[in-house]
Structure 1
Amino acid sequence: MKKVLPLIFVIAAIIVTASVVIGVKRTKTVDWEESFDERSNKPYGVSIFYKELPRLFKDRKIRTVFHQPSSYLSANSKDGYGEHVAQGSYIIIGNSDYLEDESVDELLDFVDNGNTLFISDYYFHQKIHDTLGIDTKYIENQKDSISYQYLKHLNIDEITIDKNSGDNYFSYFDTINHKVLGYSKIDYKHVNFIEVPFGEGKILLHLEPKAFTNYNILKDDRYKYTEGLISYLPDNNVYYDSYVKIRTGYNGDVEKESNLGWFLDQISFKWAWFTAIIFGILFMIFNAKRRQRIIKIIKPLQNTTIAFVKTISNLYIETKDYKNLITKKITYFLEKIRIDFNLDTSVLNDDFITKLALKTGKKKDDIKKIINYINALQNKDELFENHLITLNKHIEAFYSN
């Protein structure tokens, strides 16, 4: 055993060294996912903008919020149990689809008390649309992948956003009380940045979050446009809505959390970590083999997931509660679309069908069939087995093509 152990460690060292060399020399592919993650150094992360916030808001407190606004803002209110009263500007860059109704209400109360809300995203929560009386539409870029961005009141030259398949714009808003701050142009100019007065404060809504990403800030002089957008915010404390969300209740004293993911993105740290794990496992294996007694084998618990699913399915079939089952299938289907394709499913209209077809690469007619059928089912008071079977066929066809 003593002769074999050094040989095993030498082999393990060779394997780890070879893995490190291969990992370093391997050509890295560029990840163009639009994460809008403030920790990400990838093209469509927002780490550069996030790190520049202390410079943009000198002598002001920058707080990173890892909770739903409904938890964080209520805790840090006049009647809350937090350590301070939240006052200043609340910034959300992308990923605003996580907002719940309670969070939208809390953000509106925050603005009503004289503060500012800034959201830059492709879509907004339906409650924001209804409360502020706004509507948005999408225009596809037919010629190329470039759109042009303008700010109305600032002396900044137009900047381009490339890799842009289309633009979202405000198709309806109160032209008397709402203030136009910026435009985007593909075939023609359309409003994509407005200021909405609300109570004692104001809400700034912007429809091109890619302007805040690492790729666009570092390219040419596009950073001037980003600085121009932020210049509309008052010189006050900033609450930055993080990509990372803690789903548990807020206890009043947590604002930031560490994350091992950043270290694993760095090649040197990653392989040092893997090396330590490999040698640690080898040490435990050979150490345990010499000293530990025989451990009794315990059979793992049986996986009863399939049996559970069958039981629940039989329950629905026996009760013939087809409407409940159809409602759940539609809910799960739309939830997967929101997660996989980052689309707002609150309104299933032609605009939604077009966007889903573009995102999935499927034929628009095929998408239209399933969406129209879902809309038809949602409008029926009574549903039967044939409706459930047809819906299931549509969903299976959507995922199989």
Structure 2
Amino acid sequence: MKKLLPVILVIVALIVVAALTFGIKRTKTVDWEESFNEKSNKPYGTSVLYKELPNLFKGNKIRTVYHQPSSYLTANSEFGYGDHHAEGNYIIIGNSDYLTNFSVDKLLDFVDVGNTLFISDYYYTQRLHDTLGIDVDFEYNSKKDSISLLSFKNKNLNSSNIDKNEGDYYFSRFDSINHTILGYAKTDINRVNFLKIPFGKGQILLHTEPKAFTNYNILKNERYRYVENALSYLPDGDVYFDSYIKRQTPYGEAEKRSNLSWFLEQLSFRWAWYTALIFTLLFMVFNAKRRQRVIKIVKPLQNTSLAFVKTISNLYIETQDYKNLIDKKITYFLEKIRSDFNIDTAVLNDDFIKKLATKAGRKKEDVTQLVNYIKWLRTKNELSEESLIKLNKFIEAFYSQ
């Protein structure tokens, strides 16, 4: 019987796996998190756009950048160690707040020699604001249907609706002489949301509605035509698509590649690797039962406060109740602001931002970014782990300055 036990366990395990795979249908809720992840098929991912880039830029190389632009453009420069000289169009859809000042400078150098930078995001790093002389503001959508109209200054190009839109980000300040208006966002009135800015020998295209480039909007009706028209302002050339998934390392390969990829391409190494995995699995199955009783170790009583906190945190993480965790983190942060700086946190307006920036000795732009993100989180009914991580980074940056 003991000899048959491992075989029985393997058979039972296979039956359970088969039942879970073929017999259980899970009901999944739609995740409306705005990740702009080029590998995500969720409504606000950008996998459709990412797959269509070869059709939009026919005959040109499409490269995916998994590094900070500073690392990538340095490696693939005229005197760099990359495999080519980067020239063409650099595209960033959402999540541009990760850009360091050094990366912004490298992108501007990239444009200065005759290339094009395209960014569609709600707001940009302060270095871009200061260098290009622009400001971005937000206007709430007063319409009950939460629909905004995106249009081009060129009337021959297709306009598009954006639904589920709480409001519009627009350029409240720009150089009306040197900057060219390409498009508008309209709820109650037209707001400039698409600019072409000459820089050196190249150009910078700034757009403030990244949701237009997501799966949900591209696949709905004929909204994809708006995306085609927006990207038609980019000149013919290779495309460097900024990836949502970054490798935050200053050196190494400029494009993502698995450490095992070369070995798996070799037939002998591949079979050796798979054979080792199979024998490891068999070893674990046949040695699952301990051969000797465990000697119990009696530990002295410890302070379990930290363990309790970790347990509660893990409970929220396992239940994926990120909304609850984010609400508690915001409540704790505002309570600390009240106790440390004696500031009323009931209304998070411009007056609150000015007081907090003054008393905390922080830049007003950084405080504004943090407060606006907190206000945005409060409007959402469902949130993801990415939102929790991003909020935590903003709060840590506030205290680390």
TM-score (norm 2): 0.69
SS in 2 for 1:365: coil
Measure the CA separation in 1 of the matches of 2:116 and 2:303.
48
Asked if 2 retains the 8 angstrom alpha-carbon contact of 1:149 and 1:182, the reply is yes
Q: Which moved more, 1:157-166 or 1:196-205?
A: 157-166
What is the deviation of 1:78?
1.7
* Alignment-derived partner of residue 219 in structure 1: 220
What is the deviation of 1:133?
0.4
Change (3 A) 1:85 1:3: closer
Is 2:346 the counterpart of 1:365? Answer: yes
What is the deviation of 1:298?
11
Is 2:83 the counterpart of 1:74? Answer: no
What is the deviation of 1:37?
0.8
What is the deviation of 1:196?
0.3
Deviations 1:170-200 (A, max 9, x none): 0110000000000010011110000000011
Change (3 A) 1:57 1:370: same
* Alignment-derived partner of residue 34 in structure 1: 34
Deviations 1:362-392 (A, max 9, x none): x973445974553232349xxxxxxxxxxxx
What is the deviation of 1:3?
4.0
What is the deviation of 1:117?
0.4
* Alignment-derived partner of residue 207 in structure 1: 208
Change (3 A) 1:294 1:186: same
Change (3 A) 1:80 1:296: farther
Q: Which amino acid aligns with 1:365?
A: A
1:317-396 alignment, distance < 5 Å = 365-368=346-349, 371=353, 374-379=356-361
Change (3 A) 1:281 1:85: closer
Asked if 2 retains the 8 angstrom alpha-carbon contact of 1:54 and 1:62, the reply is yes
TM-score (norm 1): 0.69
Asked if 2 retains the 8 angstrom alpha-carbon contact of 1:67 and 1:250, the reply is no
Asked if 1 retains the 8 angstrom alpha-carbon contact of 2:141 and 2:167, the reply is yes
Q: Which amino acid aligns with 1:130?
A: D
Asked if 1 retains the 8 angstrom alpha-carbon contact of 2:6 and 2:286, the reply is no
Measure the CA separation in 1 of the matches of 2:101 and 2:43.
31
Measure the CA separation in 2 of the matches of 1:178 and 1:137.
17
The answer for unaligned runs of 5 or more in structure 2 is: 260-277, 307-325, 328-333, 335-343, 363-377, 379-390, 392-401
Is 2:241 the counterpart of 1:232? Answer: no
What is the deviation of 1:12?
2.4
1:125-140 alignment, distance < 5 Å = 125-140=125-140
* Alignment-derived partner of residue 171 in structure 1: 172
Q: Which amino acid aligns with 1:94?
A: G
Deviations 1:236-289 (A, max 9, x none): 1111111110011233x4413469xxxxxxxxxxxxxxxxxxx98984345226
* Alignment-derived partner of residue 288 in structure 1: 287
State percent identity of aligned pairs. 54
Deviations 1:90-125 (A, max 9, x none): 000001000000000000011111110000000011
* Alignment-derived partner of residue 46 in structure 2: 46
Asked if 2 retains the 8 angstrom alpha-carbon contact of 1:54 and 1:60, the reply is yes
SS in 2 for 1:77: coil
* Alignment-derived partner of residue 349 in structure 1: none
Measure the CA separation in 1 of the matches of 2:115 and 2:31.
36
Asked if 2 retains the 8 angstrom alpha-carbon contact of 1:154 and 1:228, the reply is no
SS in 2 for 1:184: strand
The answer for unaligned runs of 5 or more in structure 1 is: 260-278, 309-339, 342-352, 354-362, 381-397
Deviations 1:285-331 (A, max 9, x none): 452268x97699798x99x99999xxxxxxxxxxxxxxxxxxxxxxx
Deviations 1:17-64 (A, max 9, x none): 3322454x1222111111111111111111111111111111111111
Measure the CA separation in 1 of the matches of 2:127 and 2:221.
37
SS in 1 for 2:287: helix
Number of matched residues?
308
Q: Could you say what the CA RMSD is over the residues aligned between the two structures, in angstroms?
A: 3.5
